[in-house]
Each structure stands twice: as structure tokens, then as C-alpha cells.
């Protein structure tokens, strides 16, 4: 059964993984200003109920940050899977060497203080440098983060996103997070669906594609996803097409 824009209509027996920013919520000037539309939340809750709980959020944000937006204890992978809450509410945390990012925090704080419009988001296990309010500083932001990554070594990697570049442990990404969920009930044994909008989601697309699932890119740009929806509003409308099959 085909749904919106030719994308297969969602089914109750599938397992669903959603990015947050740019997928379920519109972007805002800063991460703290992001708000969730009531219709999106209602559709997500309906999908969660109809699928027997097989819906998870997979975000670069921390779990605490995601919870402050959704106000619902959904299964969630935060910081690209470094922290995760399963369907039972059990929390898992992969913490790299304590203090590994201390020098990077100090350096990035100094960079932000010198360049108006840049914003440092300290998520605890990862660091994100946002330049949405200063797009002319995009190249500078990426150079700065790459230089810091080289100092930290191969245990860390830079991850580009939409108007942001992050510093995170190289061993973790959204694909690993999806794989972790798929080993557990109620996700295990189901056809997987991953919906995301930017480069951080390509890791999730790769895993789900390899499993023969459905991958959906939100918005424009190159992607390995098999399907595409135009906007956050289109994602909300797609969820509303939930099939009983």
C-alpha cells in the first residue's frame, strides 16, 4: 500500500525510528527554542500505541533534552546512541574516558566568546558548535572542530549536520543505536523504518537499508534513503495514514 508521495503507508507491525530536529520538529534559531506541534505529538503517540510500543526517537540531543520537548517517556537514543532508554525504561550509557573533552570545552567556549552568533551546545558526552545564526562562519566552525578532533585522535570524530558540527566518539552513531533497539522487544523481528533529515541520519539509513527496511529522507539533499517526504508537516500527514495491516 502506497501512502503520501509514494512512500509506503505506515503499518502497525513495523518498528519505527525517528530523528527529532528537522524531522518531527521544525528548526529554530537555537536548539532550546525548538517546539513540537501538537499534531505531530498526537500522531506519534497513536503510532506508538498501534505498534505495541515499537517507536523510538534517535537524536543527537541528550535524552533529558528530548524529554523536555516530548514530555513522554518514549524509547530514545540520545547523543547518537551514547545514551539510550529502552522500551522498559531501562537506561544505558556508553561513557568514553572521563575528562576527554575537558580541553575541547574550554577551547570552544573561547571560540564562541570571540565570534558572535556561534553557539556551543555541551551535551555531556558530545559537543556541538552551531552556526545557524552566523552562516558565514560555517567553514570556520568545521575547521575548528576538525582541528580539535585531530588533537583528540581517532577515538573521536566530527559529525556534520544542518548548521552544526559535532564532536563525538567515533564508535557511536545512529545506525548503532538502531541496531541496539532491534535486538530487543518490541522492535525485534519487525520491518524497520527510519525517518531523518540530515547527514547524521545516513548511518541509520544504511543499517535499515541493509535489513531491507524503509528509509525516508525529509527535505532535500543527497541521501541513501529509499523514499522522501518534503517537510515536517509531510511526516505528520504520513503518520496519520497508519494502516491496520
pLDDT per position as a tens digit, 172-221: 999 999 999 999 999 999 999 999 999 999 999 999 999 999 999 999 99
For residue 237, pLDDT beyond 60:
yes
pLDDT value for 97? 75
Higher-confidence residue of 242 and 205: namely: 205
Query: Rounded to 5 degrees, what are φ and ψ at 111?
Result: -60, -45
Confirm whether 19 is a catalytic residue: yes
By C-alpha distance, which of 67, 96, 63 is closest to 80?
A: 63
Select which of 19, 65, 173, 197 is catalytic: 19
Distance of CA 234 to the CA centre of its chain: 18
More confident residue, 175 or 95: 175
- Fold matches, 4-94+172-239 and 102-169: no
Q: Where are the domains of the chain?
A: 4-94+172-239, 102-169
Residue 64, pLDDT > 60, answer: yes
Share of the chain above pLDDT 70, in %: 97
* Amino acid 78: pLDDT: 97
For the cut 80, the answer to whether the pLDDT of residue 4 exceeds it is no
Predicted TM-score of the model (pTM) = 0.92
Q: Is the pLDDT of residue 169 over 70?
A: yes
CATH architecture of 4-94+172-239: 3-Layer(aba) Sandwich (3.40)
- pLDDT per position as a tens digit, 147-161: 999 999 999 999 999
Architecture of domain 102-169: 2-Layer Sandwich (3.30)
On average, the pLDDT of the chain sits at 94
Of the pLDDT bands very low, low, confident and very high (cuts 50, 70, 90), residue 96 is: confident
Question: Can you tell me which residue has the cell 522522501?
Answer: 228
Cell numbers that stand for 63 in this block: 535524552
22-42 residue pLDDT tens: 999 999 999 999 999 999 999
Q: What share of the chain is helix, strand, coil (3-state, %, to 5)?
A: 35, 25, 40
What is the pLDDT at residue 146? 98
Amino acid at each position: 500500500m502506497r501512502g503520501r508521495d509514494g512512500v509506503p503507508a505506515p503499518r502497525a507491525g513495523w518498528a519505527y525510528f525517528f530523528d527529532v530536529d528537522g524531522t518531527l520538529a521544525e528548526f529554530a534559531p537555537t536548539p532550546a527554542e525548538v517546539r513540537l506541534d501538537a499534531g505531530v505529538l498526537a500522531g506519534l503517540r497513536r503510532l506508538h500505541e498501534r505498534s505495541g510500543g515499537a517507536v523510538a526517537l534517535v537524536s543527537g540531543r541528550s535524552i533529558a533534552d528530548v524529554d523536555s520537548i516530548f514530555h513522554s517517556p518514549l524509547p530514545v537514543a540520545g547523543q547518537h546512541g551514547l545514551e539510550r532508554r529502552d522500551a522498559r525504561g531501562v537506561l544505558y550509557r556508553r561513557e568514553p574516558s572521563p575528562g576527554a573533552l575537558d580541553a575541547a570545552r574550554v577551547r570552544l567556549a573561547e571560540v564562541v566568546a570571540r565570534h558572535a552568533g556561534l553557539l556551543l551546545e555541551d551535551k555531556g558526552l558530545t559537543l556541538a558548535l552551531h552556526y545557524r545564526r552566523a552562516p558565514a562562519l560555517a567553514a570556520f566552525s568545521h575547521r575548528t572542530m576538525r582541528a580539535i578532533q585531530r588533537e583528540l585522535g581517532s577515538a573521536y570524530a566530527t559529525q556534520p549536520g544542518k548548521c552544526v558540527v559535532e564532536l563525538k566518539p567515533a564508535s557511536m552513531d545512529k545506525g548503532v543505536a538502531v541496531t541496539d533497539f532491534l535486538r530487543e522487544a518490541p522492535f525485534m523481528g519487525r520491518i524497520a523504518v527510519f525517518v531523518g533529515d540530515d547527514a547524521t541520519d545516513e548511518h541509520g539509513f544504511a543499517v535499515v537499508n541493509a535489513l531491507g527496511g524503509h528509509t525516508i529522507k525529509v527535505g532535500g539533499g543527497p541521501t541513501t534513503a529509499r523514499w522522501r517526504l518534503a517537510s515536517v508537516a509531510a511526516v505528520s500527514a504520513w503518520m496519520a495514514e497508519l494502516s491496520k495491516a
